[in-house]
Amino acid sequence: MIRPLALFIVVLALMGSARAFAPAVGAPGSTGVALAVGFLVLAAIQAGNAFAAVGLPRLTGYLLTGLLCGPDVLDYVNARMVASLEIVNGVAVGLIALSAGSEINIAKLRPRLRAILLVSGVAIPLAILLCGGFCFLMAPRLPFLAGMLTAQRVTAAVTLGVVFASLSPAVALAILSETGSAGPLSEMVLGVVVLADIAIIVLFALVHGLATSVFGASGADSIHPIAQLFIEIFGSMLAGAVMAWLLAQFIKRVGTQVSLVVVALCLVSAEVGARLHLDVLIICLTAGLVLENALGISGEVVHREIAPATLPIFAVFFALAGAKLHLHDLATLWPYALAIFALRAASLAAGARIGTTLAQSEPAVRRWLSLGLVPQAGVSVGLAQLLAAHFPGWGASARALILAVITINELIGPVLLRFALVKSGEAGKRESSGAEH
C-alpha cells in the first residue's frame, strides 16, 4: 500500500505544481483536457492500487480520486475539464455494457430467470413506493415541492421514486470484473441490475410523459414520449445487433487490434446514438448478448480482447463520476438523502429476500444479493439531468437531492458489493475456472 500511496501523492503534487505555475492548463483547451486525462489515469490507478492493497474496491479509489481532485475540493480537474471529458463516459458505458451483455448466456441463465424477474418485480416497485412516498410526505419541508398542488406533488414524487429506484450495471460489472467473480450470486446481480435499468428507462419515459402533461416542460424534445421510448429501446436494439455483426466479422476475419475497434464502435454508438435518441447502454448490451448467444463469440473472448483498453478508460470514467459528486448538496440535504438511502436499501433488500425465497435460490444468493443491489450511478445521473433540463421550476432542486443520494450510494455501494462477493466465496472463481480449462 505504501508505494501506490506515495506515487499518488507525487502525482497530486505534480498536478498542483502544473496548475500553480501554468494556470492556463485549467482552461478548456486541448492542453488542459489532455493534462486532465493523463493526471486522472495516473492518480486514479495508484489510488485504486492502494485501496486494493487493504481489501477495498479499486473503483472506490477511482471515485475518491475524482472527488478529491474535482471542482468541490482541490479543483485540479475543474468543471470545464469535466464537461470536456464527457466523451469518455459514453465509451466507458459502452465497454461496460458490451462486457455485461457478453457475460449473459441466455441458455445458462434460463434457470435463474424466474428469480431475476421476481426480485426485480418486487424490489423496484417497492423502492419507487417507499422513496416516492417519503418525498411526498416530506413535501412541506422540501422547498421545490412545498408550493405544489397535491396532483403535482404526487407526480413529482413518483418521478423521483423512479429515479431513486435505478441501479448501476456499470458499477456491478466493474466490481465483478475486478474481483474475478463467477457463480450464482454474480449471475443474479448482473441479471437483476441489467433488467431493472431497462425497466427504469421504460418507467421514466412513462412518468416523464405524465409530468409533462401536469407541469409542461421546457426544452423537451418534440418527439412524443411514447414514440421516443419506442425509438430508444427498439432502435438501440437494432443498432446493437448491427454492431455485434460488424464486430464478429472483424474478430473472425482480422482478429488484431480488436480493442481499438471496440472503443471506436462504442464512441460512435455514444456520439451518434445521442443525436438519434438511441441509448449506448442498450446498444452495447444488445451487441454483447448477440455476440454471446447468436454469433458464437464467447464472453471470454470479448473480455480478453477489450482488456487492454478497459483499465485506463474505467479509471478515468469513475474518477469523473467522483468529480461530479456534489459535497455541498450532500451537506445541505444530508438528512433527506440519508433517509432515502436507507429506504432504498431496505426496499432492495426486501425485494431480494422475497424474490429469492419464492424462487428457492441458493442460500448464498438469498443471504448476499441485497448488498449487490445498492450501487447507483450512470442512468440515475442522466435522468436527474433530464429533470433539471425539462422542468426548471423544480427539476434543478430535485437534481440536487438525487445527486446527494447518489453520492452516498456511489461511495458505499461498491464496498458492499465486493464484501458480498468475497463472503459468498465467488470472488476469484472466474480466474480459477479459466485456469482449469
For 157-197, the pLDDT digits (tens) are: 999 999 999 998 878 888 888 888 888 999 899 889 888 87
Cα 334 from Cα 178, distance rounded (Å): 31
Joined grid coordinates for residue 268: 460512435
Co-location of 284 and 140 in the same domain:
yes
Domain match, 51 and 155 both: no
The residue ranges of the chain whose pLDDT is under 70 are 1, 19-32, 217-229, 378, 431-437
Q: How many domains does the chain have?
A: 2
Q: Which element (helix H / strand E) includes 50?
A: helix 30-53
Runs of H (alpha helix) within 106-235: 106-137, 143-146, 150-164, 169-179, 184-215, 225-230
Maximal C-alpha separation, the chain? 64
Q: Are residues 183 and 278 in the same domain?
A: yes
- Residue 129: predicted pLDDT: 96
Structural domain containing residue 228: 88-436
CATH number at residue 429: 1.20.1530.20
72 and 114 assigned to the same domain? no
Q: Say if residue 79 is in the same domain as residue 94.
A: no
My answer on whether 299 and 282 are in the same domain is: yes
Same domain for 30 and 165, yes or no, is no
Q: Which three cell numbers stand for residue 374?
A: 445498492
pLDDT in the model for residue 32? 67
Are residue 79 and residue 122 in the same domain, yes or no? no
Q: What is the pLDDT of residue 218?
A: 59
Shared domain check, 120 and 22: no
